[in-house]
């Protein structure tokens, strides 16, 4: 274990573009060794994002429908195809220097996935799994409960994972999620039949992910990030 500091910043509900800009700023600072590793946590208003492999045929409704529903659309630099973010979904953006974690991107993705798998099993009796080498993300049966799409610059990560806690899954009907026509989506609330405590699940994720990564989490904000020389 590295036992390095992990700055945990909960942005609560924030606009997608605003947080995208924050990620770019933090990644630049991390590359320049001005801050320690960071974990951003947020819930976005309704938004669709296209990754580098995104195909517009996987968007199933018109621009007019998106405008009526108040859904924004962004083309971004993460991997993957199209996905949805919205209320009730925990979006996790790790700004992590993998040079301090054996330059192991696959292991890092496994840590993200396993944090969700373990907390679902331990606290909700939900048996989830990942599919190494097939499809990224966390699955319950044939349904995805957490989607992953990352970008990497000079070994520093950006973008991350979307975890469906109390998400309104009907918004996924507007897209072919991640471009997979034979798979579905699910959430904790759908599987358990009632809403989960969002803040509780958020804290659980922080604990599990920090342990798997070998870091010590410190709650902070953007104005008080801890400097680093590592």
Burial of 227 (0-12, 13-18, 19+ CB in 10 A): exposed
Residue 191 CA to residue 187 CA, distance in Å, equals 6
Residue 187 has pLDDT above 80, yes or no: yes
Which residue numbers are catalytic?
178
Confidence bin at 114 (pLDDT 50/70/90): very high
Residue 200 has pLDDT above 90, yes or no: yes
Given a contact cutoff of 8 angstroms between Cβ atoms, the answer to whether 37 and 4 are in contact is: yes
Q: What is the pLDDT of residue 178?
A: 67
Q: What is the pLDDT of residue 179?
A: 65
Determine the number of helices (DSSP H) and then strands (DSSP E) in the chain. 5, 12
Q: CA of 98: how far to CAs of 7, 83, 188, in Å?
A: 15, 25, 30
Residue-averaged pLDDT of the chain: 91
Given a contact cutoff of 8 angstroms between Cβ atoms, the answer to whether 72 and 16 are in contact is: yes
Domains of the chain: 4-224 (3.30.930.10)
118-165 confidence digits (pLDDT tens): 999 999 999 999 976 677 899 999 999 999 999 999 999 999 999 999
Confidence bin at 3 (pLDDT 50/70/90): low
């Amino acid at each position: 274990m590295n036992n390095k500091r992990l700055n945990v910043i909960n942005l609560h509900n924030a606009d997608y573009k605003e947080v995208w800009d924050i990620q770019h700023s933090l990644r630049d600072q991390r590359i320049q060794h001005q801050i320690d590793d960071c974990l951003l946590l947020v819930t976005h208003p309704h938004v669709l994002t296209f990754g580098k492999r995104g195909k517009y045929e996987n968007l199933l409704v018109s621009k007019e429908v998106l405008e009526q529903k108040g859904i924004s659309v962004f083309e971004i630099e993460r991997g993957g195809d199209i996905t949805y973010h919205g209320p009730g979904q925990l979006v996790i953006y790790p700004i992590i220097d993998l040079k301090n974690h054996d330059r192991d991107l696959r292991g890092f993705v496994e840590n993200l996935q396993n944090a969700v798998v373990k907390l679902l099993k331990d606290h909700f009796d939900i048996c989830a799994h990942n599919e190494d080498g097939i499809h990224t993300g966390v699955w319950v049966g044939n349904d995805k409960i957490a989607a992953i799409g990352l970008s990497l610059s000079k070994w520093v990560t950006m973008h991350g994972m979307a975890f469906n806690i109390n998400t309104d899954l009907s918004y996924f009907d507007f897209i072919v999620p991640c471009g997979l026509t034979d798979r579905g989506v699910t959430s904790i609330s759908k599987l358990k039949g009632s809403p989960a405590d969002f803040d509780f699940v958020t804290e659980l994720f922080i604990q599990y992910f920090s342990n798997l990564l070998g870091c010590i989490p410190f709650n902070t904000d953007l104005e008080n990030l801890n400097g680093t020389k590592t």
